Amino acid sequence: MAISERLSGNEAVSFAIKQINPDVVAAFPITPSTEIPQFISQYIANGEMTTVYVPVESEHSSMSACVGAQAAGARSMTATSSCGLAYMFEMLYIAASNRLPITMACVNRALSGPININNDHSDSMGARDAGWIQIYAENAQEAYDNFIQCVRIGEHKDVHLPVMACQDGFITSHAVERMELIETDKVKAFVGEYNPEKYLLNPDEILAVGTYDTPQYYMEHKKAQTEAMKNARQVIKDIAKEFETISGRKYDMIEEYRMEDAEYAMVIIGSSAGTAKEAIDELRTAGVKAGLIKVRVFRPFPLEEIAAALKGVKAVAIMDKTDSFSAAGGPLGAEVKAAIYGKVDGLVAANYIYGLGGRDVRVEHIKLVFDEIAELVKSGKQPETYKYLAIRE
């Protein structure tokens, strides 16, 4: 029987880690992810976990410790945010290129500068091409559910890649919600024991990790990473179906909300999807055929699912909670436009930058966006390349 609880997103992820009981957790505190290693260290001190906790001097060191531990054959985890993730940057590539399935809780926070401790997606999106699988949560329930699935996804024999389980800082991480936990024995059975095929402490095999890769082999190794990321698509779907059998909750690459007959759609990531759903319900009451596509998995990108969901839609607003500073819009905008190119005819696609540094986004803001894309269809005008939402001019 499921356990009904009131937890914040950070508490939920920490409880998932406690249930999984990994071999190693190495972490350095940074707002708003600090609570996760704090809770874990308390669980360990209380004898509720047998995990080895490695206190380190920086986030670069925490990822380095996870790389070393995972390469040695230990299931390893960490948590970070913002500049902490940026400080790990070198080691993110090392973890992915060495095919080490580390699981990281990324509590999204704006990158400096100017310094800001509030939520946007500039940290994880800045690392979007580092070779990590990225899965985003709308609420605490999803943060918990995603983290449990992420371990299985990364460790799958057809994947062997590190995974970021992302949630919005403070909005999700510190907000307490009613949620359902899965019994620990079921979580342990679902995740299973970590039995790596190759690891440094295997006395029966000679193995080197992190050696120099010459031009004769480097491209082949990058191609292998690419194939692993492609494989992750089906693995994510398969594991989600298996997870549904123990939780009753259904997950996929994307979530479609009222898209069956939608004429106007929004594509969004994270906690703002909840606000968008409220706005869409109000628009539906007013006779506007609005719908939502929530991107749960950003890497690998669900291009086929998004293109299929947007068939028959007149206009779409693509919402980025970060600016890629390309002078051409945000990363989600670029990915969605690439996904629909040549596959969805006559679709007006408008890219919006919103919510930077924790700027509030309300139901009326979402409704304004739907009004604007509807007006574009009516007038026949092309949208701006991208625009900022709810900004003081």
Q: Which residues contact 181 (CB under 8 A, 6 or more apart)?
A: 2, 3, 4, 5, 7, 12, 15, 144
Q: Check residue 113 and give its pLDDT.
A: 87
Model confidence over 324-342: pLDDT tens digits? Answer: 999 999 999 999 999 999 9
Angle CA 72–300–189, to nearest 5: 50
Percent of the chain residues past pLDDT 90, beyond the cut: 97
Instruction: Please determine, for residue 218, whether its predicted confidence score (pLDDT) is greater than 70.
Output: yes
Tokens of 344: 């969805």
Q: How far is CA 270 from the centre of its chain?
A: 8
Q: Check residue 297 and give its pLDDT.
A: 98
In the chain, which segments carry CATH 3.40.50.920?
254-388
Q: Check residue 114 and give its pLDDT.
A: 93
Quote the CATH superfamily of domain 3-247: Thiamin diphosphate (ThDP)-binding fold, Pyr/PP domains (3.40.50.970)
Q: Check residue 35 and give its pLDDT.
A: 98
Model confidence over 235-276: pLDDT tens digits? Answer: 999 999 999 999 999 999 999 999 999 999 999 999 999 999
Percent of the chain residues past pLDDT 70, beyond the cut: 100
Task: Please report, to the nearest 10 degrees, the dihedral formed by the alpha carbons of residues 149, 151, 157, 162 taken in order.
Answer: 120
Model confidence over 290-321: pLDDT tens digits? Answer: 999 999 999 999 999 999 999 999 999 999 99
Q: Check residue 1 and give its pLDDT.
A: 64
As a whole number, the mean pLDDT across the chain is 97
Which is nearest to 373 in space by CA: 283, 306, 269?
A: 283
Could you say which of 1.10.3470.10, 3.40.50.920, 3.40.220.10, 2.50.20.10 is the CATH number of the domain covering 254-388?
3.40.50.920
In the chain, which segments carry CATH 3.40.50.970?
3-247
Please tell me the distance from the alpha carbon of residue 364 to that of residue 264, in angstroms, as a whole number: 16
Residue entry with tokens 């920086």: 58
Q: Which residues contact 378 (CB under 8 A, 6 or more apart)?
A: none
Q: Check residue 2 and give its pLDDT.
A: 82
Model confidence over 23-47: pLDDT tens digits? Answer: 999 999 999 999 999 999 999 999 9
Instruction: Please determine, for residue 153, whether its predicted confidence score (pLDDT) is greater than 80.
Output: yes
pTM of the model: 0.97
Q: Which residues contact 350 (CB under 8 A, 6 or more apart)?
A: 315, 316, 317, 318, 369, 372, 373, 376, 383, 384, 386, 387
Which is nearest to 79 in space by CA: 3, 150, 130, 157?
A: 150
Query: How is 182-251 classified by DSSP, letter by letter?
Result: PPHHHHHHHH-----SS-TT-TTS----S----TTTHHHHHHHHHHHHHHHHHHHHHHHHHHHHHH----
Neighbours of 183 (CB within 10 A): 13
Neighbours of 371 (CB within 10 A): 13
**Mean pLDDT in residue range 138-153:** 98
